[in-house]
């Protein structure tokens, strides 16, 4: 990705990533300071495709573990519309998966679906074409062919509720996906919560967040972890940006009832 003309970046990757230092600074001839209010650019640093940080300024990676062969990517996106707040005042909420939850698709931008891994030849979820909508005749979202008889081949543990849901592994891989399609444009923060609802065991669940199909965050919660994590994930939104929360079973789907929610808000 081309560097923004007003910026210079020093980035590198060495075998010992503990020594990597990345500096994003205003170019000497720049007429404005990108770190001031307005954020004309969004800087994101990835280590082996995992988001490390975003924002602007100087980043020291001294706390990283050794990562021989890891790559560090630092795309710098020009965001001409980021100077406009996504809502006001600061911290205001645009969308909340729990507060906006409904038994109708599309309410406040939320959609409820799944990836049918068992019938996907390449085994990879394509956010552009492989989001299948669920249905919610009872207020809880299930695949449209769901059969509650556990002996049926169309049975699945995959479902979505206001507070979270459950991934499906047996008899067929079906991963529930909570999707939000942005109605705003600008820099936002996602408050993401991931914990076990049933913390009595199992091998845990994995929550993967994608922005227009690109992974921006993932987390594994242990089978006994009823506390989990709450994180803030910076993201640049445009009208139509698709944020997918994909709930994965990890090894199997035993005892995988999981809390996961997202709030989209202004920084």
Query: Under the rule (CB under 5 A), what is the footprint of Ca ion?
Result: 120, 122, 124, 126, 202-203, 249-250, 256
C-alpha span between 24 and 9 (Å, rounded): 5
Residue 213 or 267: the one with the smaller Cβ distance to Ca ion is 213
Residue with smaller CB distance to Ca ion, 73 or 203? 203
CB of 243 to Ca ion, least distance (A): 19
- For the bound state, the minimum distance from the C-beta of residue 27 to Ca ion, rounded and expressed in Å, comes to 42
Pairing relationship of beta strands 41-47 and 72-73 according to DSSP bridges: antiparallel
CB closer to Ca ion out of 146 and 256 = 256
Q: What's the Cα-to-Cα distance from 262 to each of 46, 80, 201, rounded to whole Å? A: 22, 26, 24
Nearer Cβ to Ca ion (33/150): 150
Shortest reach from residue 122's CB to Ca ion, in Å: 4
Residue among 67 and 176 whose Cβ is closer to Ca ion: 176
Tokens 């994590």 identify what position?
Answer: 229
User: How many whole angstroms separate alpha carbon 41 and alpha carbon 39?
Assistant: 5
Q: Which is nearer to Ca ion, 2 or 121 (CB)?
A: 121
Complex with Ca ion: residue 90 or 124, whichever CB lies closer: 124
Q: Burial, 176: exposed, middle or buried (Cβ in 10 Å; 0-12, 13-18, 19+)?
A: buried
Least CB distance from residue 202 to Ca ion, whole Å?
5
Smallest distance from the beta carbon of 171 to Ca ion, in angstroms? 15
Q: State the nearest-atom distance from the C-beta of 129 to Ca ion, in Å.
A: 8
State how far the alpha carbon of 34 is from the alpha carbons of 41, 52, 55, 61, 82, in Å: 7, 20, 10, 22, 11
Residue 98 near residue 163, CB atoms below 8 Å = yes
Residue 88 CB-density burial (10 A; 0-12 exposed, 13-18 middle, 19+ buried):
exposed
The Cα 88–Cα 184 span in angstroms is 12
89 contacts 265 by C-beta, under 8 angstroms = no
- Closest approach of Ca ion to the CB of residue 201, in Å: 10
- Please name which of 155, 160, 146, 130 lies closest in space to residue 262, comparing C-alpha atoms: 160
């Amino acid at each position: 990705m081309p560097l923004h003309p007003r910026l210079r970046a020093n980035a590198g990757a060495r075998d010992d990533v503990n020594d990597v230092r990345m500096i994003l600074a205003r170019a000497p001839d720049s007429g404005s300071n990108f770190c001031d209010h307005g954020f004309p650019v969004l800087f994101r640093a990835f280590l082996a495709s995992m988001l490390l940080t975003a924002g602007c300024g100087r980043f020291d990676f001294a706390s990283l573990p050794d990562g021989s062969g890891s790559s560090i990517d630092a795309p710098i996106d020009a965001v001409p519309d980021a100077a406009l707040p996504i809502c006001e005042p600061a911290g205001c909420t645009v969308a909340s998966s729990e507060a906006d939850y409904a038994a109708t698709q599309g309410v406040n931008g939320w959609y409820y679906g799944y990836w049918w891994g068992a019938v996907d030849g390449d085994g990879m979820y394509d956010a552009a074409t492989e989001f299948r909508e669920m249905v919610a005749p009872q207020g809880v979202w299930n695949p449209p062919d769901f059969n509650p008889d556990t002996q049926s081949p169309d049975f699945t543990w995959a479902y979505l509720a206001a507070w979270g849901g459950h991934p499906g592994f047996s008899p067929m891989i079906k991963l529930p996906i909570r999707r939000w399609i942005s109605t705003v444009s600008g820099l936002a923060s996602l408050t993401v919560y991931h914990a076990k609802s049933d913390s009595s065991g199992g091998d845990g669940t994995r929550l993967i967040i994608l922005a227009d199909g690109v992974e921006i965050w993932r987390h594994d919660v242990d089978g006994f972890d009823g506390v989990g994590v709450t994180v803030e994930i910076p993201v640049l939104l445009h009208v139509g940006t698709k944020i997918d929360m994909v709930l994965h079973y990890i090894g199997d789907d035993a005892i995988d009832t999981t809390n996961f929610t997202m709030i989209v808000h202004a920084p």
